[in-house]
Structure 1
C-alpha cells in the first residue's frame, strides 16, 4: 500500500494521476498547506524540504520496512519502476522520459510557479518580475509546442513526462496564457484531458480546495513559515 501525502495542487496532481493510471493501491493522507502541515516535524522526517507531495511505500519491492520518498519527479520514477508502466526499461526511450521529466522539474514548474506568484499573489505588482517570468513561461510553452509538433506525447508513448507537465499546463489561464497560441500543446492537452484515469487523479481532494486566507498566505509565502522554508508560491508546493 502506498500512502500519499497530498494536497490538490499541480505537484500533488502529478502523483494522484500516476497512482490512478498505474493502478497501485494507495490511501491519501490529506495535507492542509495553508495551515502548515508541510512544516510539522513528523512530515519533515519524510520530506526534509518541507514541500508536498511525499509517499510512503509500506510494501517496497526489497521486502524491507516502509520506504519514504519526497520530490514529485523522484516519486514518479519510483512508481513507474514499481508498476512497470509509463517509463520504458530500455535505455533510449527511458532517457527521453527522464530528460523531459527533469525539464519539467527544473524549468516548467518553477518558472510557471514564479510567474503565477508575481501575477496573482505578490502583495505589489512588480513590472520587471511579471515581464521576466511571463516571457520565460511563453518560451517554455514554445519549447513544449515544438516538441509536440510531430508526436502525440512528449516522449514517445504516454508516460510520466506527460503526467508531470499536464497539471502545470492546466494553469494556463491563471498564467495569462492561451493555448490557442500553442496549437500542438492544445491538441496534446485535449488528448490527455480525455483520459478517465487522469480525470480521477485530478478529482482527488477537489473538495479541499479553498480560497487563500491571510494565514495561509503567510505560511505559503514564507512570512510566518519556519526558517527552512522558502518564499515560493502556493503552486510550487
Structure 2
C-alpha cells in the first residue's frame, strides 16, 4: 500500500490531473439528484474531484484519513474538509443527501464497513455513488494488461457484485450507473514497472517481491516503454437509500 502522506505532493500530476478529475466529477453529478443539497466525498484525497462537484445550491464536504492529502484538499474545499476514517465518518446519522466514493473501495479490505458508514450518514432517499471494478477499467487488451492479467486479484474489494450485496444489507438499492474516461491514465510499461517497485498494485495484483521484480523486468522489454496505452474507462454505481 502506498504512503499517501508522501504521495500527496505528486498525486495529481501522476494520475491524470484536472482532465481526469473533471471527467469523474461530471459523471458523479449526473447520478446525484438535482434536489440534493449536501454531498460528502469520502476518501477525497487532494480534493481535485471534490472541488469540481459544483452545482447551484449543493454544499460539498470531503473527508480523508491521510494528513498529507487533507492538507492539499483543505486548499480546495476549505472548511468543508475533515480529517477522518472512512469507516467512522464524522457526520450524524441521516444527515446527508448524497455521498460519493471515487477510487476508494478498491483499496479497502474492509470495504463493507465503508459502505455501511456511507449508508448510515445518508438520509432516507439519499444517494451513494461509488466506483466499482476500478482495476478492470484498465482492461484494454494492451500488451501491458496482458502481462498483468495472470496476477489480477479475481475478487476485488470493489467488485460490483460484492458492493451490491453489502449495500442491500444496509438499505441501499441500485439507482443507476455511469462510465467515464480516466484521461491521462493510459499506462506506460515503464511507469507500471516503477509503480510495482513502490507497491502501488498491492490491492490489485497477487505478487510477492520476487515476482514483482520479475514482472517489472518483463514490462521494460515491451516495445515503446514510455508510450501510454489506451486510457481506462471507469464505472460508477449509484445506490439509493430506502425511505
Q: Counting strand residues as a fraction of each chain, which structure ranks higher?
A: 2
By relative contact order (CA 8 Å, sep 6+), the higher-ranking structure is 1
User: What TM-score results when the alignment is normalised by the length of structure 1?
Assistant: 0.32
Report which of the two has the higher share of helix.
Answer: 1
